[in-house]
Amino acid sequence: MKRAFLLEMTIFRDYARQLVGLGLLVSLCIGLGMQTPLAMPATLTCMFFMMSAMGLAAYDQLNHWELFRLTLPLSRRDVVLGRYAAIVTFGLLGMAVGLVAALAATAVVSAVGLPGEVGEAFAFDPGMLSVMAVVTCFTLLIGAVVASVVTPLYFRLGQTRATQILPTVIVLLFVVPVVVLGNSGMLDGGIPGMELVSAALEALDTPTGMVVGCVVLIALSSVALAISAAISLKLYERREL
């Protein structure tokens, strides 16, 4: 698996560099637009998970690379696990870059002493760090879930065909349930366990709650990726290249 992982890292390296630059710019714009540095690591974490899952799959079909890759001393299992390891690595890289960029932006704004709302929003506040951690972990979950949904499709159908049906899958998985639940009125208190969710959200206001929240979000992300990897292994094993 290590070989397949290193292969993915080498192939994605140049694109990742471009993505860091682009991501920093986008996250800074979003941060300034939303007047909070919290948006910076959140944006980059989510963006890197999604872009690495999609970007790596895009290289598969160039020059029949996907087919040729299996003539190298790699198993299909190596290829799948190497892909997930690369997605997680790039996702965490995005998170790290985002956190450093947010702190750097805060430090620069504090040092320069920007006036107005932006100066206030980006002023350093120790309490902001824990909120940033929770928000970043939440976007980690979003990015991981998206990567978990798209990656098995790429392994089963190839990038071209998967891209054609992905919008439909995304709508079915993420939009339809929200619309159905919204129209049914269940979101207004009809769903069993909503009190528990509300209590959990309230608990996030406490330091312990935040730590637990981060751990739970990271655990959920890991579970989503693990289930997705297991599905991908099954699907890719039978894929006719």
Q: Provide the 10 A C-beta neighbour count for residue 72.
A: 11
Pick between residue 116 and residue 238 the one whose CB is nearest to other proteins.
Answer: 238
Q: What is the DSSP letter of 36?
A: -
Give me the least distance between CB of 7 and other proteins, in Å please: 6
Calculate the dihedral angle through the C-alpha atoms of 234, 92, 19, 51, rounding to the nearest 10 degrees.
30
Q: How far is the CB of 185 from other proteins (least distance, A)?
A: 50
Residue 88 CB, nearest distance to other proteins (Å)? 19
Report how far residue 117's alpha carbon sits from residue 137's, in angstroms, rounded to the nearest whole number: 26
**Per-residue tokens: 41:** 């690591």
Q: Which is nearer to other proteins, 76 or 83 (CB)?
A: 76
Q: Of 10 and 168, which has the nearer Cβ to other proteins?
A: 10
Closer residue to other proteins in complex, CB, 64/104: 64
Nearer to other proteins by Cβ, of 73 and 193: the residue is 73
Least spacing, CB of residue 64 vs other proteins, in Å? 5
CA distances from 85 to 12, 32, 66, 80, 89 (A): 13, 32, 17, 9, 6
Sign of CA dihedral 87, 92, 93, 98: positive
Tell me, what amino acid is at 147? A
CB of 218 to other proteins, least distance (A): 29
Q: What is the largest CA-CA distance in the chain?
A: 61
Nearer to other proteins, 129 or 235 (CB): 235
Q: Which is nearer to other proteins, 117 or 240 (CB)?
A: 240
Shortest spacing between CB 165 and other proteins, in angstroms = 22
Shortest distance (Å) from residue 148 CB to other proteins: 23
Q: In Å, how far from its chain's centre is CA 104?
A: 22
Taken in order 205, 206, 210, 215, the sign of the CA dihedral is: negative
Through-space distance between the first and last CA atoms of the chain, rounded to whole angstroms:
20
Which residues bind to other proteins, rule: CB under 8 A? 3, 6-7, 10-11, 14-15, 59, 62-65, 67-68, 70-78, 238, 240-241
Q: Determine contact, residues 18/95, Cβ cutoff 8 Å.
A: no
